Structure 1
Amino acid sequence: MSFEEKHAWIYAAIAAGVPVIYFALLLRQVPTTDVTQIAYVTPMLAAIGTAIAANIITTIAAALASPKEADKKDERDKQINRLGEHIAFYVMSILALIPLGLTMAEFAPFWIAHTLYLAFVLSALTSSIVKIVAYRRGL
């Protein structure tokens, strides 16, 4: 497994894991609190920061575990990365229409922020999944 494929797996795990924890913590409050009254800004920023930090730390750890592979990136790696990012761009572009529509319909910021966050999460997952499939099955 190339370093770039390892990175795609790491990114997928973080992109799936952190939002699951965030939404689990958030949904615990739903039975007792109106969703528009839930304090979500700080936890969401913490989740985003945690995902970024976890990605950086685990990528560095993977590079330290196999330093000879870490700096190798061939043409196939570049093409797979391009494909994953290209498809993720379209996913994000389409899903960004939902919070835009919610904003125009004057929904509460809670719903707008969470649909945008979910769009970013799904875009990151799509990117990783496309890359993993490309590595496993070929371009």
Structure 2
Amino acid sequence: MTHVEKRAWIRLVVAVLAYAAYVVAVLRRADGGPLPDVPYTAALLWSVGGAIAVSIVAEIGMAIVNPRASRVVDVRDREIDRLGEHTGQAFVVIGALAAMLMSMAGWDRFWIANVVYLCFTLSAVLGGITRIVVYRRSLPEW
């Protein structure tokens, strides 16, 4: 498994775990009450910041555990990364459109923020899965 593929695994797992932790935190705070009344901002920021920090630490740990691993990125790695980015971008666009429509309709900020965060997470997950599948198989021929 290449260094770049390991990075894709790390980011995929961290994205899923961070979002799951955020959802659990918000649902616990709701305690059966209405979700828009839950103070979600701190949990969201900690979740995103924590995911970034854990990804960085995990990638550093991966480099320490296997210091001789090649970090050379070849054409195939760049193409796989590009395909993963393009695949995941769909959810970024969906999230932006959803947030815009929800805002225009006067929805509560809670729902808008959570749809955007969900779409960012789905983008990371779909992009990561795409990268991993292509590493395990091959690049599609166009």
TM-score (norm 2): 0.92
2:107 equivalent to 1:107:
yes
The aligned amino acid for 2:88 is A
Output one character per residue of 1:16-75: Cα deviation in whole Å (capped at 9) or x when no partner: 011001101211233433212110001100000000001111011111122222522111
One-letter amino acid of the counterpart of residue 101, structure 1: L
Distance 2:15 2:25 in 1: 16
> What residue number does 2:48 align with?
48
Measure how far apart 1:109 and its partner are: 0.4
- The aligned length equals 139
Report the counterpart of residue 135 of structure 2 in structure 1.
135
User: TM-score when scaled to structure 1?
Assistant: 0.94
- Aligned counterparts, 1:115-134, within 5 A: 115-134=115-134
Counterpart of 2:73 in 1: which secondary structure? coil
Structure 1 residue 91 displacement after superposition: 2.4
Question: Gapped runs of 5+ residues in structure 1?
Answer: none
Which structure ranks higher in relative contact order (CA pairs < 8 Å, sequence separation ≥ 6)? 1
Mean Cα deviation higher: 87-96 or 72-81: 87-96
Structure 2: gaps (5+ residues): none
- The CA RMSD over aligned residues, in Å, is 1.2
Counterpart amino acid of 1:133? V
Report the CA distance between 1:2 and its aligned residue: 0.4
Q: Percent identity?
A: 37
Contact 1:14 1:51 (8 Å CA) reproduced: yes
| In structure 1, C-alpha distance between the alignment counterparts of 2:16 and 2:58, rounded to whole Å | 15
1:70/1:60 Cα in 2 relative to 1: closer, same or farther (>3 Å)?
farther
Whether the 8 Å CA contact 1:99–1:115 is kept in 2: the answer is yes
| 1:3-82 superposed matches below 5 A | 3-82=3-82
